[in-house]
Amino acid sequence: MLPHATRSGSVPVDGRRSAAPEADRPSARTPALTGPGEHGTLRSRGLAGGLRMFVRPALDKMPATDVSLGRLRALTSGAGRAAALETTNDWSSDGPVPGLWVGRKRFFHSDKVIFHIHGGGFTFGSPWSHKALASRIASETGVPVFLPDYRLAPEHPHPAATEDTLAGWEWLLSMGFRAEDIVVAGDSAGGNLALQLVAALDRDNAPMPAGVVLLSPWVDLDFTDMTARDRARKDPFLAVGLAELCRSQYAPGVDPDDPAISPIKYVPSPDWPPFLIQCGGEEIFSGGIEQLAERFAEHGVRHEFQLWPHQFHVFQVFHPLVPEAKLAVRDIGSFVRGCLRD
């Protein structure tokens, strides 16, 4: 099923134009995907069903121990590394925050870069876990991706991840990249950190990135809405208990209404860069993400919000399997190319 999209302001696009604004994205220029009504394609529904039947129960039963966290870290990193398009390991320890370059050898002469902040509930995930997604985005855009290896909780609780995100941004600038030649991207917890970066740049009146891509961003660390949604219909992938554990390890004792951990509480500015926000209709984060899009519209932030019916959390990582995910990544490419167009 194709996304329900809303826009506010002039949002960059690249490719064939149409008189209808909704026809600018690849997802709006393609024939409707095969699927019964609003239920998505067969592959999409099959994968969501498998996640709900096998993965979600395992995450619900996972004990809150260091051993479990270590296994989760190893599993996510190994899966991302195995699925990546390229086998080269372009690791950089030159800056204050080490990280992984993806696509730099393919697009060596590019003076532009995507600064992608990986997700994982602030407690797991790594540049390796997101190498496959970054590789696909690099191919779609013709732009290399840098994934910072920011510090994780519980070893390094808040504000370590935010500090590393800001340090990684400053390092890219010191490398000679101009702010207007950088697109910031983030998924899940990484989307939270991307918003923290934009808010910090706004406070300092510093140059903004050319654009921001948010994939299923975790923008509200209050669990009231998430718990209600999960009781009404179980999220195929996100386990509320695991998310609560991640929050307690990431920001112990911090008020969930503090914008430093819940960026939904910031008052956005029309001076913020354009945003592309993608969200799965089945995920428990969707309430907070929809509220973020509403706040952007209210405060004049240029943005495009795509709600993909019956998709799950960060469904884009399944781009090799799911037609909707492949199309969503193509939309990301369209947005990024539009932001970085000379």
Active site residues: 188, 283
**Would strands 99-102 and 90-92 be described as parallel, antiparallel, or unpaired?**
antiparallel
Cβ neighbors of 81 (< 8 A, separation 6 or more) are 128, 129, 131, 132
326-58-60 Cα angle (round to 5): 100
What is the DSSP secondary-structure string of 197-256? HHHHHHHTTPPPPSEEEEES-------HHHHHHHHHS--SS--HHHHHHHHHHHSTT--T
The 8 Å CB, 24+ separation contacts for 21-29 are 24/334, 25/304, 25/331, 25/334, 25/335, 26/327, 26/330, 26/331, 26/333, 26/334, 27/2, 27/3, 27/306, 27/327, 27/328, 27/330, 27/331, 28/2
The whole-angstrom separation of Cα 238 and Cα 55 is 9
The SS3 assignment for 48 reads helix
The verdict on whether omega for the bond into residue 154 sits within 30 degrees of 0, i.e. cis, is yes
* DSSP reduced 3-state for 17: coil
Compute the C-alpha angle 11/17/20, nearest 5°.
75
Distance CA 279, CA 216 (A): 5
Rounded Cα gap, residues 269 and 337, in angstroms: 23
